[in-house]
Chain A
Amino acid sequence: MSENIGNVWIFIEQDSGDIADVSLELLSKGCQLAGELGVKTEAVLFGAKVEGLVATLHEYGADNVFIAEDERLEPFSALPYTKMIVELVGAHRPNIILFGATQVGRSLAPRVASKLAAGLTADCTALEIDDYEDKASKTVMKNRLMQIRPAFGGNIIATIANSWEDPQMVTVREGVMPLSEPEKGRTGEVTKVAVNLSDEDTVVKVIERVKAESDVNLKGARIIVAGGYGVGSKDDFNLIKKFADAIGGEVAASRAAVDAGWIDHEHQVGQTGVTVRPKLYIACGISGSVQHRAGMSDSAKIIAINTDPDAPIFSIAHYGIVGDLKEAIPMLMKALKAHA
């Protein structure tokens, strides 16, 4: 392994002391990448009062935590966070930086990448280490981060590499990377970061902030009933909700159904939504684009209901019903009730 190579960083998103799930998932992935590269895993933690989170980050695999505490760093704001991270990168030269593809990550990562003139790839579904040959300069770059994501309506899977200097930056959606078990009692380094912010960095003021606890819990759901464009209309989508209610499942949707306005985005499963791993996933009227499959193919059991026998969803289904979901769902509800 190269001796000059920098460490793997994970931006830790926290809100009033709660760490975003995606940050811990990325810490798990970061440890694996750092292990392959023979470098350290480091967490970047900013906020008003966040020292209490350091132990958790060590237990999830951070060798070092860069920590900055300041009232001006809570809640998240793009300008001060960008300035702090850019300075930190300049001082420590990380090899890789991982961000959650949340509203915060998607506001911060591009601003940082622009300032650093670094490459940034959004919504990766897999990350690997491999060599990259730059065809233009005919040079082989060793041990680069392969940033893998579906593209173009899900018809292709692209592997993207950053051909410029480090850092290599990516965003990843919540639930995509599996969470490792924390190692109780594991400790590590802590590096305090000085906060040098001017008035110019804090010109954007948050004057109101409303966060509602969502009652949608797709990620932890054991049973999911998902509807797609084939459901047909907003009214017909009620059938999906009724079905989910009847069998104690959560309601999910494909992007097409969300874009059609039949259901909120927080129910969306797939590359640009949530990644789920339930015991049972019932896909109703979902054709099964790569992006959708990326978010649910690890489900233990998949039932697909679709009128098109060639729909890609059948390629990963365990059970397939070729036919009209408006016929199939009531029949299945009745049969399940009869045997319950």
Chain B
Amino acid sequence: MSLTSLVFVKQVPDTKNVTGDAMRPDGTVNRGALAAIFNPEDLNALELALDLRERYGGRVVVCTMGPPAAAAVLRHSLYMGADEAILLTDRSFAGADTLATSYALSCAAKKLGDYDLVLCGRQAIDGDTAQVGPQVAEKLDIPQVTYVEKVLEVKDGVATVRNLIDGGHEVVKTPLPALLTAVSSANEPRPAGARRLMRYKKAMTRTELLAKHAGKTYEDSNELAVEEEKLRERGLWIHEWSAADVDADPQRIGFAGSPTKVKKIENVVLAAGQFKEIPLTEEGIDALAKELIEDNVFV
């Protein structure tokens, strides 16, 4: 048997380490001031896929939608062991909500075609919505299992998986192809392999190749096409797909394809605290304890 897994990953701002200059005075987000990281649960999804390849053979294709710089998470996926990487990038994808995002991703999946499993993290830390996975599954008209911890078995076109539910877990059987969303407790994602890192750090997209040869174009220089061919032969070519490449309907992507609109954004401004400061001394703490008990807080 051999399984083709398509893993959707996302590059996200590291919202856990938001610094002071992450917000502009007008309340908009200064993405440039935030470190960009691999969405944590997408690493768990990729680990699930790599583990399946080790058990059953096949290949792991990783795809992300994002700006050209998102190629960084694809390279990291290659370091971990992915066979192939696709960057879905187009200015017209910008401003997408989860519905438009899932449509674009489903177009990429359809272009790829022969997948047995589609995997992604349960949710991305920049929005925590957990919506894109089920929405992609619906658009591909395949079953979904969310909050997956383990793929117990794949046999005769049916996957047996263990997933979390509120207050417990389930074991479900789903026919393939199916979409699974992975939770952080699923596994410990492997680190980048040292040899793979040396090899795949040279992997690049067309945009990156053009940037490397600044000023040159495919039209006026054969050099680019020759280098691209070399990179392809060595498995170092990160595919770059545009909206047109995946036959995406312009009305269903980006801002135009997003029903939800941000009406208003308010900066969180905190009023100065009105709290009673308790000095960290025996007397101070003692007085606080007395006050709490007198207020019947513990009754």
Contact = CB atoms under 8 A, between A and B. Distances in A.
Interface residues of A, number: 88
Contact of A336 (B16, B267, B272, B289): B289
Contact of B99 (A108, A114, A212, A327): A114
Interface string B132-146: 111101110001111
A316 B27 CA distance: 22
Contacts of A314: 273, 275
Given A78-B144, A120-B131, A335-B285, A319 B164 contact: no
Contacts of B270: 312, 315
A251 B174 CA distance: 38
Q: Would you call the interface of chain B mostly helix, strand, loop, or mixed?
A: mixed
Interface string B195-220: 00000000000000000000000000
B99 A214 contact: no
A301 B277 CA distance: 14
State the main secondary structure of chain A at its contact with B: mixed
Given A160-B263, A211-B167, A321-B280, A122 B130 contact: yes
Which of A150, A290, A321, A323: most chain B Cβ within 10 A?
A321
B164 A103 contact: yes
A150 B282 CA distance: 39
B15 A335 contact: no
Given A122-B131, A155-B22, A332-B288, 4 more contacts: A102-B166, A155-B23, A156-B29, A206-B170
Q: Which 6 A-B pairs have the closest CB atoms?
A: A119-B259, A335-B289, A153-B15, A211-B168, A164-B259, A323-B280
Interface of A: 75, 78-79, 82, 102-104, 106-111, 113-115, 117-123, 132, 134, 146-147, 150-164, 203-214, 223, 247-248, 256, 259, 271-272, 279-280, 290, 301, 303-304, 312, 314-324, 327-328, 331-332, 335-336, 338-340
23 contacts: A75-B170, A78-B143, A110-B98, A111-B144, A117-B259, A132-B261, A154-B268, A156-B29, A156-B268, A157-B268, A160-B260, A204-B172, A204-B173, A204-B178, A210-B170, A223-B298, A248-B298, A280-B292, A315-B272, A318-B275, A320-B275, A339-B289, A340-B298
